[in-house]
Chains A and B, each alone.
Chain A
Amino acid sequence: MTIRRLVLALDDRLGVAPILRKALRKAFPDNWSFMFGEIALYCFLALLATGIYLGFFFDASTAPATYRGSDIALRGAPMSAAFASVVRLSLDTRAGLLLRQIHHWAALVFLAAIALHMCRIFFTGAFRRPRELNWVIGMTLLVLAMAAGFTGYSLPDDLLSGTGLRIAYSVLLSVPVVGGYLAFLFFGGAFPTTEAISRLLFTHVVILPALIAGAIGVHLAIIWRQKHTQFRGPGRTEGNVIGSPLWPNYAIKSIGLGLATAAILAGLGGFFQINPIWLYGPYHPWDVSAPAQPDWYIGWLEGALRLGPRWTIDLLHHTIPSPFFPGVVLPCVFFALLYLWPFLERWVTHDGEAHQLLDHPSDAPVRTAIGGAVLTFAIVLTLAGSDDVQANIFSIPVQGMVAAYRWLLVILPIAVGLLSYQFAREIRARRNQLPAPAPRVAISRTESGGFKDEPESLPSNRR
């Protein structure tokens, strides 16, 4: 009743009825692989909700503090106010640890969902005209999410994240000509500085969330306007879109997915410990703990630094140090390639048509091969980023692992690329060879317990 009156009141003032009528019956294709982006969205909401709570307890200061909480071993240790506040939040604030852990798990799943979503978009060709713009916005969201993750990971000023921040500073410093100035501007001087934590906090809780929220808004508005892509299927054409109506089916399903995401994140946060900073202790520039790993989405950069060549270039009293190549050039090339992919593909294939029907990965063997190769490259780098942990588990010399990963980094992407090319062509050829696709038959049980088969009706009904 109330809702009805609200709608009427809004229509009186804004004339929303026609828009609403169209919106509520809008068709949403409900293929399961179209929901990865939604998962990322729900993770972002979980991050906002938990992050707001955490913000009330965090003290972004490097001033010396005295810890008097329940971890006896840390009492009296020299530490920053930032670190002390996170330990207090974790061990001496009710529900503090739960929400901190949910926040961190949500960040990891957020980036995983974005990565999976991008793979789906890439391998089905959903980035093609008219959706190049949304691909670019999606890439930007990936970069922003990585930055948000890294800045958040660095906030507690613990031994592990402090080491990571030190590496980030060194990588920034390695940029030719402007590196030193950039590093000093970002960090407010030579590392370690007193400004770093408060700047990271501002970036993490204001700048990046605002940018991400804005980009998500544009991303969704464009999807709304362009309508979702769909896989080929009976009755599906370039000119239409078939799916569940937004209201009530798709909305209820999506809410269900959001609640399930929340449940799984809550379960992870409650039962699985993540980033126990009180065990790592406060950061001091001369202390270190091994093995030291970043969160998974920074792993490929860590791996690149580990596998990086020992080049250092000396030019007339100037130096280009070795981290520049794996730490700056490689990610720039990598992201540039991803950003420009829709345009590169159009330039090569001369395919300027708009596509509303998705490809099967086998429809475009070259794209699938390149995607597989680049993905393999990133996975090998990520694995190389934890080579010391693997060395520990498998009792293999770290140096041998580095050599092996350097080779794998070259061989494996090429092999995967060639294989997936062959595979895709094979599947495509087989599909084309089939004389005529057999009519799809839906089989159902009859009352008497037997089966009856009938041609599948269009559009297809589930269950």
Chain B
Amino acid sequence: MTTKTFVIALAFTISGLGSALFAVAYALHAGPRLEGLGLFVAFGALASGVILWALGALPQEQVVDQRDEYPSDAKTRAASLAALEAGIDELDRHGFLLKFLCGAFGALALAALFPLRSLGPGFGKGLYRTKWRKGARVVSEDGTPVRASDMAIGSIMTVFPDGHVGDASSQTLLLRLPTDTIQASPDRRTWSPQGYAAFSKVCTHAGCPVGLYLASKFQLLCPCHQSVFDVAAEARPISGPAARPLPQLPLRIAGDGYLQAQSDYTEPIGPGFWQRP
């Protein structure tokens, strides 16, 4: 046995040991590291052996192939074209039948499209409305109603309408801001009682939850594409790819001290779409 063949044989032996290691690791619940090591050694040693064999112990010959000629020679080409055209001529003798055939196939193809409709419901109101209604109580993620005295200035909370905790389109951020920082337009004067402001948590760019709150700057940042919204100024986008402000939920404080929605959002929440007015 030459050194070369000895080394290759050794590699194959090591590979066998690797396989054994994998089996033992599996049997002993040893976890991915030892199992992976076993497979790595098994495949790796096998690869080394095979490559050494190919490079070292096989004759290194080079062969020359001639390429086929493309295109085929003119005679064969002409003959095959002629055969094709003969058939077409044959069919063409009843040209109108050919048209009917195509029509029938077309109808079949169209009909086959119809079942696709069952894949999803119609494009309905799902995108236009959320579960917020007039008088809906604001509740936290665990369903506890939020009282107007509950939050300190500078804090933030994810809230839902009562009875719809976890509804994706109704997720809303409730923030309490210092009242003097809020710059509300005239029609939104009453929407943020005692500095409580609520904005849709669904980013108007690509729909991620706008979760990062930079409390000292009154800014919300979307972790997906880094759009920044200024919550003191009606959540207008001030940086990043989002083009529209986060819709604001009009709030009020009910007689019992709990926070309520004045109505649903006044515009569709989340990313834009064609039918959005």
Q: Which residues 237-277 of A have a CB within 8 angstroms of B?
A: 238-245, 248-249, 252-253, 255-257, 259-260, 262-264, 266-267, 269-271
Nearest CB of B to A93, in Å: 10
B residues in contact with A262, CB < 8 Å: 39, 43, 47
Most chain B beta-carbon neighbours within 10 Å: one of A98, A178, A249, A305? A98
Q: Which of B52-81 contact A (CB under 8 A)?
A: 53-55, 58-68, 70
Complex interface residues of chain B between 15 and 55 (CB less than 8 A to chain A): 26, 29, 31-37, 39-40, 42-44, 46-47, 50-51, 53-55
How many of A's residues come within 8 Å of B, CB to CB?
101
Provide the bound-state CA to CA distance between A424 and B198, in Å.
59
Q: Which parts of A219-253 form the interface with B (CB within 8 Å)?
A: 227, 235, 238-245, 248-249, 252-253
**Segment at the A interface, from B87-95, B179-187, B235-243, B248-256:** B235-243
In the bound assembly, the distance between CA atoms of A462 and B166 in angstroms comes to 67
- Docked complex: B235-271 residues within 8 A CB-CB of A: 237, 239-244, 270-271
Minimum CB–CB distance for B175 against chain A, Å = 15
Q: Cβ of B201 < 8 Å from any Cβ of A?
A: yes
**A142 → chain B, closest Cβ, in Å?**
24
In the bound assembly, the distance between CA atoms of A291 and B208 in angstroms comes to: 12
Whether A167 contacts B65 by the Cβ 8 Å rule is: no
Is A452 an interface residue, CB under 8 A from the partner?
no
Q: Does A402 touch B at the CB level, under 8 Å?
A: yes
Q: Does A311 contact B (CB under 8 A)?
A: yes
Closest to B34 in A: A270
Enumerate chain B residues within 8 angstroms of A425, measured Cβ to Cβ: none
Q: What 0/1 readout, one digit per residue, does chain A (145-157) give for beta carbons within 8 Å of chain B?
A: 0000000000000
Say yes or no: is B158 at the interface (Cβ < 8 Å to chain A): yes
Partner pick for B243 among A102, A260, A310, A402, CB 8 A cutoff: A310
CB-nearest residue of chain A relative to B239? A399
The reply to whether the CB of A27 lies closer than 8 angstroms to some CB of chain B is yes
Q: What's the count of A-B pairs with C-beta under 8 Å?
A: 279
Residue in contact with B168 in the complex, picked from A174, A238, A286, CB distance below 8 Å? A286
- When the two chains form the complex, which single residue of B42, B46, B225, B275 contacts A180, counting CB atoms closer than 8 Å? B275
Flag whether A217 is at the interface (Cβ < 8 A): no
CB pair B271–A317 under 8 Å, yes or no, is no
Name the A residues within 8 Å of B242 (CB-CB). Answer: 310, 322
Is there contact, CB below 8 Å, between A323 and B62? no
A265 to B127, CA, bound (A): 44
Interface residue stretch chosen among A53-61, A118-126, A183-191, A343-351:
A183-191
The 15 listed contacts between A and B (C-beta, < 8 Å) are A25-B63, A94-B29, A173-B127, A174-B271, A185-B120, A186-B119, A253-B55, A263-B39, A263-B42, A266-B44, A267-B36, A305-B225, A318-B277, A321-B273, A460-B62
In the complex, besides A191-B168, A267-B37, 8 extra interface pairs with C-beta distance below 8 angstroms are A98-B32, A167-B208, A242-B64, A289-B223, A305-B224, A311-B243, A312-B243, A322-B205
Chain B interface (Cβ within 8 Å of chain A)? 26, 29, 31-37, 39-40, 42-44, 46-47, 50-51, 53-55, 58-68, 70, 116-117, 119-123, 126-127, 141, 158, 166, 168-169, 171, 201, 205-209, 211-212, 223-226, 228, 237, 239-244, 270-277
Residues of A participating in the B interface, judged by any CB pair closer than 8 Å: 25-27, 94-95, 97-98, 101-102, 130, 163, 166-167, 169-171, 173-181, 183-192, 227, 235, 238-245, 248-249, 252-253, 255-257, 259-260, 262-264, 266-267, 269-271, 284-292, 302, 305-312, 317-323, 326-327, 354, 356, 387-388, 398-399, 402, 459-463
